[in-house]
Amino acid sequence: MTRPSVVALVGRRLGRSGFAAVVAVLLALLLIRLQGFAPLPTVLAGLRYALGDPSRIAATFAWGLPLLVAALGVAQGFRGGMFNIGAEGQVYSGALAAAVVGAYLGPLLSGLHLLLCLLAASVAGGAIAGGLGWLRAHWGVDEVLSSLLSNYLLILLCTYLANGPLRDPTRQSGSTRNVADTAMFPVILPHTELTAALFLVLALAGFCWWLAERSVAGYRWRMTGASPGFAAAVGIDVAGARISAMAVSGALCGVGGALLVMTSQGRFWTGIGTGIGWDAVLLALVGRARPVGVLAWAAGYCVLRASARGVEQATGIPAELSSVLIAVIIIAAAARNGLLAVLADRLRRWGGPDRARRRSAPAGVRR
């Protein structure tokens, strides 16, 4: 009458995820080799760039904080059966909202100002995504389509605002005024961009885990997402669960956008997002929408990205290598369950009847 041991669970997860990571590493080595460089030293140089000393580590992970929050948000939506791929638009909206509150309100007491900025960003993102959820729940508008299209609308709207009414006249176009210092997270490691936002993000990650996996609200979302018929029959408000899952998802994406402003940029400008919303969707996918998985993949992605930078500096291989690799990881993670499972099965059969028997048992259970 016990739950499976934590070690076993973590081991199984790692086993599944590790496969995709191994494929990616092998491909990285191959691509570097094809460019005419020695693979291992190059990769090590990249890793040194990413993780070589404390300030490097801080820089590597500081970059990923907004991404992680947005990815946790997308994952929350997935758990509620809502495919929120409007994360990019919600990140932009959250960033703009935080930048406006940060620049036009204040300077205030720092803690309060931070809170107000984050609140504005989460309300902006949450209202947008919640609205899309409402359209789905009451009018049957597919949230995949509506959230996808909302990206273009919102990014263009934010671009207009930053070029028009909210433009900082002292700068070139496309940028809002700098936020007050009280709206910036304090740096916790000198000479790096690692800010106190780290604690906020870790707290949010823990909160997301509790919310999705353990809480009453999470139960309603998960049941609505995985078994909507069951949810309706036992009296869960399915429409409400869909709307609230989307709203929370959007709020977290908005906070992700706010962190872009409040930890490094200090203002909103039209290129601020750089696609972290899209990366967030991918991370939520490969992390199977589980907070722990998302956290692990986000950390891995940060290292991958920073290493690619390092490799670029050392060899001139474009840093876009990291984009190629993340795509490969996703394909590998997806294929793990299909094509490659067939190959694994073949290998198992070649392994002879005795070994085949022992190994086929768990595969059968999973079916």
Q: Which is nearer to another protein, 168 or 213 (CB)?
A: 213
**Minimum distance between the CB of residue 230 and another protein, rounded to whole angstroms?**
5
From CA 270, how far away is CA 274, in angstroms rounded? 9
From CA 73, how far away is CA 147, in angstroms rounded? 14
Q: Which is nearer to another protein, 337 or 360 (CB)?
A: 360
Which of 117, 211, 261, 325 is close enough to bind another protein by CB under 8 A?
211
Residue 160 sits in the site that holds another protein (CB under 8 A): no
| Contacts of 124 by beta carbon, 8 Å cutoff, 6+ apart | 90, 93, 94, 96, 97, 254
Q: Which is nearer to another protein, 36 or 364 (CB)?
A: 364
Q: Which is nearer to another protein, 47 or 239 (CB)?
A: 239
Which of 169, 235, 338, 352 is close enough to bind another protein by CB under 8 A?
235
Q: How far is CA 244 from the centre of its chain?
A: 19
From CA 31, how far away is CA 255, in angstroms rounded? 36
Which residues are registered as beta bridge partners of 269?
175
Residue 191 sits in the site that holds another protein (CB under 8 A): no
**Minimum distance between the CB of residue 1 and another protein, rounded to whole angstroms?**
5
Stretch that binds another protein, among 157-165, 212-220, 293-301, 317-325 (CB under 8 A): 212-220
Residues 182, 183, 185: CA angle, nearest 5 degrees:
95
Residue 3 sits in the site that holds another protein (CB under 8 A): yes
Q: Which is nearer to another protein, 7 or 165 (CB)?
A: 7
Residue 267 sits in the site that holds another protein (CB under 8 A): no
Crossing angle of helices 54-79 and 216-226, in 10° steps, is 60
**Minimum distance between the CB of residue 228 and another protein, rounded to whole angstroms?**
9
**Minimum distance between the CB of residue 285 and another protein, rounded to whole angstroms?**
17
Residues 283, 288, 294: CA angle, nearest 5 degrees:
45
| Contacts of 107 by beta carbon, 8 Å cutoff, 6+ apart | 113, 180, 181, 182, 183
Residue 210 near residue 200, CB atoms below 8 Å: no
Residue 342 sits in the site that holds another protein (CB under 8 A): no
Which of 220, 267, 290, 309 is close enough to bind another protein by CB under 8 A?
220
| Total binding residues toward another protein, as defined by CB under 8 A | 34
Site string for another protein, 293-332 (x = CB under 8 A): ----------------------------------------
From CA 5, how far away is CA 106, in angstroms rounded? 51
Burial status of residue 101 (CB atoms within 10 A of its CB: 0-12, 13-18, 19 or more): buried
From CA 328, how far away is CA 24, in angstroms rounded? 6
In the structure encoding, which two tokens stand for residue 26, read together? 């092998």
Residue 337 sits in the site that holds another protein (CB under 8 A): no
Q: Which is nearer to another protein, 3 or 191 (CB)?
A: 3
Residue 230 sits in the site that holds another protein (CB under 8 A): yes
**Minimum distance between the CB of residue 269 and another protein, rounded to whole angstroms?**
36
Binding site for another protein (CB under 8 A): 1-4, 210-211, 214-220, 222-223, 226-227, 229-237, 349, 356-357, 360-362, 364-365
